[in-house]
Amino acid sequence: SRFTELLDEVYEFEHISLSNGTDILDKSAVLEKISSSDADTVIHMAAKANVDGCEADMERDKELLGFGNEREKEDAWRNEKTAWAVNVFGTQNVVDACIKTGKKIVYISTDFVFDGTKKSYTEDEKPNPINWYAKTKYEGEKLIQNSGLDHVIARIAYPYRALFERNDFVRALIGKLEKSEKLSMVWDHIMVPTFIDDLVNALDILIRTEQKGIFNVVGSQRITPFNAAIAIAQEFGFDESLITKTTRREYFAGKAPRPFCLYL
């Protein structure tokens, strides 16, 4: 939504999503919609991005991947909308439509394709996803890289925006602090928040200058979730004493594994 708000006078947009009747898991609908457009570029932003929700899909996805009956497998994915269904099968539908129509594809990926064991990562580093969400996003990357299409893969991290329609991590913290709820925030985990307006400008440059390949498109500041919460409290005048420290081991116990340090 922010992409179209900021660049509405630069590009002519055609919106394709569930909200206007196109399900990414419906191969024929995706092909029909993309084929009927004169646009030369498809920006693929659709994803199932709830990390723990994707992890819960893993066993079912692996079960379906073992099916020999492709039609049965695809029917199950369309109905169940698992992580593999949306992030891989859905991406394949978009890729196939772009191949048939000769359109360039811009794919929004994630810093989570890396395992977080190094201090920093370049575009040339080999991904090593450690949770199912990241695995499915990396599979999407490979589909696009192997498609023969002109493409951009933009890896982003912790996007947030100034206007709070979407429940990103900044809005989630503000919502809790507004209610004077206590926050237990991780202090031994590194993240790189990315302001969505900056992300939009970067994508504009990549499209306008006809770039191709993989690009890490993230903010410039590495920070712990604890320090991010303190900064938010200070900016909006909330009580900092509501924010206490916890460890990665405690906070993520029983949840999908997360990369420790991702600095792209």
User: What mean pLDDT comes out for the span 156-178?
Assistant: 84
Burial class of 262 by CB neighbour count within 10 A (0 to 12, 13 to 18, 19+) = buried
- Inform me whether the pLDDT recorded for 162 exceeds 80: no
User: What mean pLDDT comes out for the span 53-59?
Assistant: 97
Listed range (29-38, 67-76, 123-132) with the worst mean pLDDT:
67-76
Under 8 Å between Cβ of 106 and 206: yes
Under 8 Å between Cβ of 158 and 232: no
174: amino acid identity, one letter:
I
pLDDT digits (tens, 9 = 90+) for 110-144: 999 999 888 788 999 999 999 999 999 999 999 99
- Inform me whether the pLDDT recorded for 166 exceeds 70: no
pLDDT digits (tens, 9 = 90+) for 83-119: 999 999 999 999 999 999 999 999 999 999 999 888 7
The two structure tokens encoding residue 237: 């005048």
The two structure tokens encoding residue 172: 């989630």
**Average pLDDT over all residues of the chain:** 93
193: confidence class by pLDDT, cuts 50, 70, 90: very high
Kindly provide the b/e burial profile for residues 76-106, where b requires at least 16 CB atoms within 10 angstroms of the residue's own CB: bbbeeebbbbbbbbbbbbbbbbbeebebbbb
Distance of alpha carbon 74 from alpha carbon 67, whole angstroms? 10
